[in-house]
């Protein structure tokens, strides 16, 4: 019989696996769509185009490591029949939104590594859309986590 502490650990691990995969997926979406296909910016735009491409490659490498590691951890949880799917989905959306907001606020505005789009007089609509998307994804993640917590409490009644 599983202990309460062990169940909590597996819920937590399921959530963190989801966060890791979510961060990796959102980094991939950002890098593939906005860095490569639309060519709006590179991860670091304050140097030469070669450095911009290098930093995009480093971001791409990090996102792949996050996704692959996350799926190996997910596979391990499933193999041990310890995956708390509702917590993993909550973590996935928290990872998506967390990455999006971190990128939009810290990378774009605080560190000024790059902007969403250069050569545009008014980038406010881009900033609002970018960060609003992150907030919406975070809200979905929080809502899913609240549902997972409520479902867990019902199971112990």
- In the block, tokens 């902007």 appear at 115
pLDDT band at 3 (very low <50, low <70, confident <90, very high): low
CB 131 within 8 A of CB 101: yes
* Percentage of residues of the chain with pLDDT beyond 70: 94
pTM of the predicted model, to two decimals?
Answer: 0.90
pLDDT band at 125 (very low <50, low <70, confident <90, very high): very high
Specify the pLDDT at position 155: 55
pLDDT tens readout for residues 92-113:
999 999 999 999 999 999 998 8
For 2, which DSSP code?
A: -
- Nearest-angstrom CA–CA distance, 109 and 107: 6
């Amino acid at each position: 019989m599983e202990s309460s502490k062990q169940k909590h650990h597996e819920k937590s691990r399921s959530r963190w696996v989801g966060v890791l995969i979510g961060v990796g997926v959102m980094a991939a979406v950002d890098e593939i769509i906005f860095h490569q296909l639309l060519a709006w910016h590179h991860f670091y735009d304050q140097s030469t185009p070669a450095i911009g491409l290098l930093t995009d490659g480093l971001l791409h490498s990090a996102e792949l490591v996050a996704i692959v590691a996350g799926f190996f951890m997910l596979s391990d949880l499933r193999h041990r029949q310890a995956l708390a799917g509702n917590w993993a989905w909550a973590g996935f959306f928290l990872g998506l939104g967390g990455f999006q907001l971190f990128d939009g606020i810290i990378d774009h505005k605080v560190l000024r590594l790059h902007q969403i789009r250069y050569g545009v007089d008014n980038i406010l609509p881009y900033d609002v859309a970018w960060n609003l998307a992150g907030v919406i994804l975070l809200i979905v993640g929080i809502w899913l986590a609240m549902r997972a917590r409520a479902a867990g409490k019902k199971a112990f009644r």
